[in-house]
Copies of this chain bind each other. A is one copy, B any other.
Amino acid sequence: MAETTAHGTARRGGREQRVTKQRLAVSAALDRLQDFVSTQDLHRLLHDEGASVSLATTYRILQSMADEGLVDVLRTDDGEAVYRRCEATGHHHHLVCRRCGRAVDIEAPAVETWASHVAREHGYTAIEHTVEIFGLCPECTAIVAREAAEA
């Protein structure tokens, strides 16, 4: 569906993609973060550091980057979309901290084959799957433990 050129500049169906300061700001922020962030959070972040990107534009840019496969999208428990630029380029999964959003890329070939095997077994076609692991990262584990001790 979406193609990406060697330099990260992307195009969709031949339509050009202009390099604006808003797009650069969003891209830079994503590079700097190693966490999954919601559009609202990212917009607040950009706004706080003085970048002029409107909320609507943040939504548009993030959505377009997701379409182009430049960022990974996830849904939090309450249905909010969160985005993250990943090292891994192809299909992969994540181990995500549910407190701070920090994530680790996970490859799991065995799970892939298992999924397609199970699906085919039941006659399902056009298979896709989602596998995400949520937990508390080491740091957040410590913080939560400390808070529990104080209480």
Contacts and interface: CB of A to CB of B under 8 A. Distances in A.
Interface of A: 75, 77, 79-81, 95, 97-98, 104, 106, 108, 110-111, 114-115, 118-119, 122-138, 141
Contact of A129 (B80, B125, B127, B133): B133
29 contacts: A75-B77, A79-B80, A95-B118, A95-B122, A95-B124, A98-B126, A98-B128, A108-B114, A111-B111, A111-B131, A118-B133, A119-B133, A122-B138, A123-B137, A124-B135, A124-B136, A124-B138, A125-B136, A126-B135, A126-B136, A126-B141, A127-B134, A127-B135, A128-B133, A129-B133, A129-B134, A130-B132, A130-B134, A131-B131
A114 to B, nearest CB: 7
A130 B128 contact: no
A135 to B, nearest CB: 4
Nearest to A141: B125
B129 A132 contact: yes
A125 B123 CA distance: 36
